[in-house]
Amino acid sequence: MCGIVGIYHDTLNGELKACCQRMVRSLSHRGPDDEGVWIDSNIPLAIGHRRLSVIDLTQDGHQPMASSNGRYIISFNGEIYNYQKLKDQLISEGCSFRSNSDTEVLLEGLSVWGIERMLPKLTGMFAFALWDRTERKLFLARDRLGIKPLYWGQRTTGDLAFASEIKAMKIVPDITNSIDEDSLNLFFQYRYVPAPRSIYKDVKKLLPGHFLVWKPGQPVHISCYWNLQDHIRHRSMSLDSDVEAVEKLHELLKDAIAIRTIADVPIGTLLSGGIDSSLVTAISQEYLHDSIRTFSVGFGDADFDESTNANKIAEYLGTQHTTIHVSSEDVLKTIPALTHHFDEPFSDSSQIPSLIISKLASAEVKVALSGDGGDEVFGGYERYRWANLLSIVNNSPAYARQAINQLVGMLDSMTPTNLFPLLSKQLKLRRPQEKIKKLHRALKEDSFEDLYQSLTSVEAFPQQLVLQSLAVDSGRIQPIESGLNFQERMQYLDTIRYLPDDVLTKVDRCSMAFGLEVRVPLIDHRLVEFSWSQPKQRKIRNFQTKWMLRQILRKYLPDELWSQPKTGFSVPLDAWLRQSLKDWAGDLLSSANIKNQGFLDPTTISAILRAHKDGASQHSELLWSIVMFQSWLENN
């Protein structure tokens, strides 16, 4: 994995190279092994690269790299897993290669086949910039699912900058001057700024599965080369038996994991103890000569700690396992790094253990496989289990919805000492009170879109929290195929929004903060397309999530090691904010501080804080978002 940057700016004159070098060095954590800057001798264009050497560790893989005919220059971040197959095809068409790197294969493939033919051939994670010296045309492209990030921005059609992270964009004059209050409003709703927006008005995220074309002085043109909705629209549903479908998935999984164990450096896995990471770890063992290194994180609070399960699985599989336990003091030390590495407000609290485990793993390996994406692709979230009920309620008359919601409201008002332990045991729910509270709020909504938004957003917050902001939608709730059922509609939206903008953003920033390359085999696009060809009963069956993955995992591990309810990378946020993080949060949220900054309403924040401290309401998620924004603002 690497960091890429570039700038076309006709007013920098002699400062162009120096500006690009500063952009490159701001991303040194992404690529500690090498750096390069290429300057066009005829126009004010500079392209830069920071390299994390994983395949072909020699200088033959140095970037930016020129094509064999000298026409194209590339700066590439990611891995092309099928590069050997593509290389053989290119050799058969007369190409020759000077290195063993996937970068050169990508570059020559783009040169021979062009971007529109090359992109669909790629299996991998990537973001790259390609400059055509003959046509004087810039191409930017991002992988199908959005595993690797790519930002771009401009003030006029005569300039443009791009980078793997916003911190490099901030070096470009005038491009990150203005915070977008509407993006800030969306951040407080979702815990992240949804693409294509960023926190800055003049900086955008390139959407997954898209590529950008720009000629200096002309408007930017963005095209889509892979779209999940198009695949769903034209899919052929599987006619296989359950046994046949599971076996096909197993073979695809083994291939997706096998090609991600290819590297010239040590490899490990991030093992949480759940279905996804356990399956990835178990299959990875088949393709590595030595016992694989595994890493997990734990907490003192038993409701959030899964390290014991991870330890048992590691022992059963015979891995070289390391666990780190996180305290509230560790969190306080970690927060400054969070605001530095995320570049824009981000408040999914699982960023804390993700950053800590990435640091732990990076001390022993350079590449780690994770189980991220399994929930979205194979049906792992709790809301998918309740999809049939939600659909019935959502389509019921108003009086029936009201009665059902009153019943759920009664459950919401109960104390954890009576009904909740029973629910936790019978339905295999962790922290059922939180989930019932969210369900109670969601059932008040009339449309699917509003219900989904309620289920996936932070608790309802006052619209007046953000000053000078309009209530806007991110523009990415696209029309959904009418043939999709309730569960599939939620999975679709999770895959195009929550997965790239939250989960994969978190994985990229936390891992690359320490020069660790994390590979995510469960969102190999072939697995995604296969999953969408299966009926919903192969994802959720008998109120059980990830049915197909469970059948495969049973070939490797006994049920008792992995069948317990999973928390994800959840943290005891409420306890931390009421205790060890109380003073830190209080300083950031002082009325004087809020008023001086001018983005948030101090009266609204005081009311939220007061209700939380008094125990009248549980506002830990919203408060975490506010303090993370305040912390980000102080450091930016």
**Lowest pLDDT segment from 25-39, 226-240, 339-353, 584-598:** 584-598
Asked if residue 212 lies in contact with residue 220, where contact means CB atoms within 8 angstroms, the answer is yes
The DSSP secondary-structure symbol of 163 reads E
Tokens of 610: 């007061």
With b for 16 or more beta-carbon neighbours within 10 A and e for fewer, the 9-29 pattern comes to: beebeeebeebbbbbbbbbeb
**Domains of the chain, first to last:** 2-226 (3.60.20.10), 237-379+495-561 (3.40.50.620), 572-636 (no CATH)
For 610-627, what is the mean pLDDT? Answer: 79
Copy the structure tokens of residue 228.
Answer: 């999940």
- 399-413, 493-507, 590-604: range with highest mean pLDDT: 493-507
Contact 133, 71 (CB under 8 A): yes
In contact, 183 and 204? CB cutoff 8 Å: no
What's the confidence (pLDDT) of residue 417?
Answer: 47
pLDDT given at position 174: 80
Residue 143 scores a pLDDT above 80 = yes
Strand ranges for 401-441 from DSSP E: none
Q: What is the pLDDT of residue 565?
A: 63
Which pLDDT does position 57 carry in this prediction? Answer: 66
User: Of all helices (H) and strands (E), which one includes residue 152?
Assistant: strand 151-153
97 within 8 A of 87, measured Cβ to Cβ: yes
Q: Which pLDDT does position 478 carry in this prediction? A: 56
Task: List C-alpha distances in Å: 494 to 277, 481, 488.
Answer: 19, 15, 10
CB 154 within 8 A of CB 306: no
**CA–CA distance, 126 with 77 (Å, rounded to integer):** 6
pLDDT at position 464, please? 75
Q: According to the model, what pLDDT value does residue 412 have? A: 61
What is the helix (H) or strand (E) element at residue 283, kind and residue range? helix 275-284
Distance CA 148, CA 155 (A): 24
Sheet strands side by side (includes 72-80): 65-66, 72-80, 124-132, 137-142, 210-214, 221-224
**Cβ neighbours of residue 210 closer than 8 Å, sequence gap 6 or more:** 141, 142, 222, 223, 224, 225
Burial of 458 (0-12, 13-18, 19+ CB in 10 A): middle
Residue-level pLDDT at 329? 77
Q: Which residue has the higher pLDDT, 108 or 579?
A: 108
Q: What is the pLDDT of residues 31-55, one digit of tens each?
A: 888 899 999 989 999 999 998 767 6
CB 61 within 8 A of CB 99: yes
475: left (phi over 0), alpha (psi -120 to 50) or beta: left
Supply the mean pLDDT for the chain: 87
The model's pLDDT over 456-492, given as tens digits with 9 standing for 90+, comes to 887 665 567 888 766 555 445 555 666 788 899 999 9
Q: How far apart are the first and last CA of the chain?
A: 26
C-alpha to C-alpha distance for 48 and 17, rounded to whole angstroms: 9
Closest by CA position to 589, among listed 615, 625, 554, 561 = 625
Are 23 and 7 within 8 A, CB to CB? yes
Cα gap 152→394, rounded to integer Å? 40
For tokens 């690359």, name the residue: 512
Give 300's pLDDT tier (boundaries 50, 70, 90).
low
Task: Summarize pLDDT for 396-427 with one digit per residue, the tens.
Answer: 777 777 777 777 767 666 555 455 455 545 55
> Could you tell me what percent of the chain has a pLDDT over 90?
55
- Asked if residue 56 has pLDDT above 70, the reply is no
What is the maximum alpha-carbon separation in the chain?
A: 75
Give residue-wise pLDDT tens across range 337-394: 888 899 999 999 899 889 999 999 999 999 999 999 999 999 999 889 888 777 777 7
Sheet architecture: strand order including 151-153: 34-39, 45-51, 2-8, 160-163, 151-153, 203-205
- Compute how many other C-beta atoms are within 10 angstroms of the C-beta atom of residue 314: 26
Beta-strand relationship, 137-142 and 151-153:
unpaired
- State mean pLDDT over 8-31: 90
pLDDT in tens, 151-189: 999 987 779 999 999 999 999 988 877 899 899 989 998
Burial of 599 (0-12, 13-18, 19+ CB in 10 A): middle
> Does pTM surpass 0.85?
yes
How many angstroms from the chain centroid is the CA of residue 572?
22
32 beta partners:
51
How far apart are the C-alpha atoms of 527 and 520, rounded to whole Å? Answer: 11
pLDDT at residue 429 greater than cutoff 60: no
